[in-house]
Amino acid sequence: MTQDPETYSALGEVGAFQERRTLWTRIKLDLKKSPMTARFGMSVILIYAIVAIFAPLLAPYGEAEVFPVPYAPWSSEFIFGTDQIGRDIFSRMIYGARNTVGIAVATTLLAFLIGGGLGLAAAINRSWLDQFLSRTVDVLMAIPSLIFALVLLSVFGSTVINLIIIIAVLDSTRVFRLTRAVAINVVVMDYVEAARLRGEGIGWIMRREILPNIMPPLVAEFGLRFCFVFLAIAALSFLGVGIQPPTADWGSMVRENASLIQFAQYDLKAGLTPLLPASAIALLTVAVNFVVDWFLHKTSGIRDE
């Protein structure tokens, strides 16, 4: 920067220029500064991901392989014993990571596609479309979602596809509200008006002008929404209308083995068995929340250092 007091030049003007870092170095820096909770959360998520991806390699037995000993105790052969019809619980836990988490991720993505897209469109349009979508969302949100999902699943049948679509639509209402709220603040910016004056279509304005500026809250919401979807699927499975047997899934595993808990006074290990899938659910939810908390804190610009 030149500091020539004699002449004015646009090049020499004092700007807040900072060193540009590549994405990778920025990620490394962020990770280095991350708190313990976030690191714990990330490691848990990573382990879950590995388990989900390599499930067939890690599991000692097949997902639906039935052995002649139902309710077998914990042993070296069946690490966590077997369930009511003799399937290895440890193997089903591993496959459950793939099914439960995979379906939850797919559902969350779909919810964001629907809610985010419509939310952006409503924020840009601001007229009848906004009114129509917002009121529809209000109506959907007024109905308790778990009960609504139960009703819809009983009507349409409990297939995986139906499950994903129904929960995604119900959850997209929350995504719609958030997207619309944050996008409205961006829509009024002059650069969006400039794009409109240029004659850009709604697709360009949504993707290029608005979306990059509302990413941080949406990413955080993605994490939280994932937890809710995950819990909703587990709850529906526990109630028997979620993921159907023989597909291994943590929610239905809790239900199937729930009766074992009353044997805890005779055999502690047997009593713990139904709690294993439950704690797998709890652990992932807590881990995702830790990471989201850290991300929100980082992007909201609130610093307490």
Binding site for other proteins (CB under 8 A): 3, 5-11, 13-20, 189-191, 193-194, 196-200, 208-209, 212-213
CB of 14 to other proteins, least distance (A): 5
In whole angstroms, how close is the CB of 184 to other proteins at the nearest point? 15
Is the Cβ of residue 68 or residue 212 nearer to other proteins in the bound state? 212
Q: How far is the CB of 199 from other proteins (least distance, A)?
A: 5
Instruction: Give the contacts of 72 (CB within 8 A, at least 6 positions apart).
Output: 78, 81, 82, 86
Give the side-chain half-sphere CA count within 13 A for 226: 24
Tell me 245's DSSP state: T
Q: How far is the CB of 226 from other proteins (least distance, A)?
A: 25
> Of the two residues 144 and 212, which places its CB atom closer to other proteins in the complex?
212
Which amino acid would we find at residue 268? L
DSSP code for 19: P
Half-sphere exposure of 28 (CA within 13 A, CB side): 5
CB 273 within 8 A of CB 81: yes
Quick one: 7 or 265, whose CB is closer to other proteins?
A: 7
From the CB of 292, what's the least distance to other proteins, in Å? 22
Cα–Cα distance for residue pair 286/305, rounded to 1 Å: 25
* Min dist. Cβ of residue 191 to other proteins (A): 5
Nearer to other proteins, 9 or 265 (CB): 9
What's the rounded Cα separation, in Å, for the pair 113 and 97? 24
Phi, psi angle pair for 10, to nearest 5°:
-65, -30
Matching residue, tokens 């709604």: 202
CB 291, min distance to other proteins, A: 23
Structure tokens belonging to residue 45 = 């998520």
Residue closer to other proteins (CB basis): 19 or 68: 19
CA angle 274, 98, 162 (to 5 degrees): 95
DSSP-derived letter for residue 88 is B
Alpha-carbon distance 181 to 164, whole Å?
25
Nearer to other proteins, 205 or 236 (CB): 205
Q: Residue 65 or 200: which CB sits closer to other proteins?
A: 200
Closest separation between CB of residue 19 and other proteins, Å?
A: 8
- State how far the alpha carbon of 2 is from the alpha carbons of 5, 7, 15, in Å: 9, 10, 12
